[in-house]
Amino acid sequence: VTMKIATLFTILAGSATAFAPIQSGKASKAICVSFENEIGAQPPLGFFDPLGLLNGADAARFNRLRYVELKHGRVSMLAVVGHMVTTGGVRLPGDIDYHGTSFESIPAGIAALSKVPAAGLLQIFLFIGFLDIAVMKDITGDGEFPGDFRNDFIDFGWDTFTVEEQERKRSIELNNGRAAQMGILGLMVHEMLPSHDPYVINGLLGYPIDFNAGY
């Protein structure tokens, strides 16, 4: 549930692209030289900025958009996993409030919003805000790139990787995050269609999922 609430707020904030457009003129050439080799500008699209968010941008602007893109991607990856886990029937034990509303009685997907008590939604919102403001950021100021939140606390052997391995892993995270943003948006849109089946593709492939059966 927390993951889906986080995604709703994130999607409302909008998703930022991190590539500079290819344009004519001296000014645009300077931008391309600055950003054409950045991580994430890769085949098959290469530079892709249809909204022109990087027109005339400097490094600070690029880093801000990259930070936002990473944040949206990370939240969306959690959201997709959370959607699949709850669709699979996994729930926390116990009750969600003092009135006996069990976690087991909360459906998956957008339908959960109408079942979670208002106080629960407020707690989720405040908890996400706390994480965003106080935890998920470069607290020490030692981050090597946008989205580097190690903060001298957790490393997973990052400094033992070669430069090529680090760039590869950062590219993988970007691509997975981009796919997850599209994925969770697709799940929510499909859930609101007449079939109310976010996993409609499974049905088309012959493996239908009885989504929210019994709720």
User: Length of the chain, please?
Assistant: 215
Q: On the CB side of 155, how many CA atoms lie within 13 Å of its CA?
A: 9
Task: Report how far Cα 17 is from the mean position of its chain's Cα atoms.
Answer: 13
Determine the pLDDT at residue 44.
85
DSSP state of 134: I
35 vs 20: CA distance, rounded Å: 6
| pLDDT by residue, tens only, the chain of 215 residues | 544 444 544 444 444 444 443 333 444 444 444 678 889 888 888 888 889 888 888 999 999 999 999 999 999 999 999 999 999 999 999 999 999 999 999 999 999 999 999 999 999 999 999 999 999 999 999 999 999 999 988 888 999 999 999 999 999 999 999 999 999 999 999 999 998 899 998 989 999 888 998 78
53 close to 104: Cβ distance less than 8 angstroms: no
> What is the value of pTM for the model shown?
0.80
Q: Which residues, in sequence order, are bridge partners of residue 42?
A: 46
CB count within 10 Å of CB 146 equals 19
CA distance 208 to 59: 47
What are 158's two structure tokens?
A: 């990052």
Query: DSSP label at 142?
Result: -
CB 184 within 8 A of CB 83: yes
How far apart are the C-alpha atoms of 92 and 77, rounded to whole Å? 20
CB 19 within 8 A of CB 54: yes
Q: How far, rounded to the nearest angstrom, does the alpha carbon of residue 116 sit from its chain's CA centroid? A: 22
For residue 182, give both structure tokens: 């599209």
The rounded distance, in Å, linking the Cα atoms of 173 and 70 is 8
- pLDDT recorded at residue 13: 44
CA–CA gap between residue 80 and residue 19 (Å, rounded): 24
pLDDT, position 34: 66
